[in-house]
Amino acid sequence: MNSKSLQSQADGIPFFKFLNLEVVSTTDKATTCIMPATQRLIGNSYLGNIHGGIIASCMEATASLAVFDRPRKGAPKPINLTVNYLRPAKMNPLHCRAKVIRAGRRIAFVETIAWQVDEDTPVAKGQFQFLLI
């Protein structure tokens, strides 16, 4: 699946539209998305940081899109996730890359990284498992 068709799939999911998630690139093994920073995503108004749940949601959305084009009848269902927050996310666009580590017939394992300015200084890293139906 190419970036344009994957973007049309993302646009059909209301929460992904709420995040303003944009598919930047996709290959067989990885998908990269970007989420613009907006005031409604702030979790701490005093510091102006993006809410941690929004960061995890962006990572989960990108990870699900990475396994979205696997052959099956329905959308991938998240069954487990771990997110490690490494530093605060300021009011800058959030980039997220999801790499498919292994996709079997029923389960897919995906690793994610989220960053803002430099990929070498990530905001968060995560591991996701999806049930492929």
Write out pLDDT tens, residues 104-132: 889 999 999 999 999 999 999 999 999 99
Residues 56-89: tens digit of each pLDDT: 999 999 999 999 865 556 788 999 999 999 999 9
More reliable by pLDDT, 39 or 127: 127
Confidence (pTM): 0.92
Residues 20-36: tens digit of each pLDDT: 999 999 988 899 999 99
Whole-angstrom CA distances from 131 to 33, 90, 99, 111 are: 21, 33, 16, 15
Residue 2 pLDDT more than 90? Answer: no
Pairing verdict, β 22-26 and 42-44? unpaired
Residues 124 and 114: beta-carbon distance below 8 Å? yes
Please check whether the domain covering 3-131 is classified as CATH 3.40.47.10.
Answer: no
Alpha-carbon span 4 to 23, nearest angstrom: 8
Domain boundaries in the chain?
3-131
